[in-house]
């Protein structure tokens, strides 16, 4: 993915990235996670809504989000075809890096009770700053 090459550049100061309805898949999530690990400090808002990320894509993305230097504040994954398995990865990322994310929108996915419980466990961390979960 060419975009991730630009995001990895230390001079990239992009703060908002919205890739809604872009046929983005787990392959794109892998490249994006790599960019988040390489240059995590500027991106504040990420919207990947209405893409077919699936559980594998959300897991790959979570690998980039768990970096303590990742300062993402808003993450929207609406209609991304993931389940409680993807929630487990997000919950793990929240536990690893609880201090920046303020808004998490997971609407219109098949999360299930287990997924919601896993996310709730991540929210119990006193360092967690999440204000909006939908």
Query: The domain spanning residue 110 has which CATH number?
Result: 3.80.10.10
The stretch 66-87 carries a mean pLDDT of: 92
Q: What is the pLDDT of residue 124?
A: 75
The residue ranking higher by pLDDT, 6 or 54, is 54
Q: What is the band of 53 on the pLDDT scale with cuts at 50, 70, 90? A: very high
The domain total for the chain is: 1
Tally the residues of the chain. 134
Distance between CA atoms of 33 and 4, rounded to whole angstroms?
9
**pLDDT over threshold 80, residue 117:** yes
Computed on alpha carbons and rounded to an integer, the radius of gyration of the chain in Å comes to: 13
72: containing domain: 2-133
pLDDT digits (tens, 9 = 90+) for 25-45: 888 899 888 888 888 778 999
């Amino acid at each position: 993915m060419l975009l991730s090459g630009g995001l990895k550049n230390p001079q990239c100061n992009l703060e908002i990235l919205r890739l809604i309805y872009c046929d983005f898949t787990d392959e794109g999530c892998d490249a994006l996670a790599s960019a988040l690990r390489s240059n995590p400090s500027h991106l504040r808002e990420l919207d990947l809504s209405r893409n077919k990320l699936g559980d594998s894509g959300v897991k790959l993305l979570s690998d980039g989000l768990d970096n303590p230097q990742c300062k993402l504040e808003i993450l929207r994954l609406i209609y991304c075809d993931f389940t409680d398995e993807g929630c487990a990865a997000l919950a793990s990322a929240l536990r690893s890096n609880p201090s920046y994310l303020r808004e998490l929108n997971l609407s219109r996915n098949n999360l299930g009770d287990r997924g919601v419980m896993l996310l709730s466990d991540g929210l119990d961390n006193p360092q967690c700053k999440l204000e909006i979960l939908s």
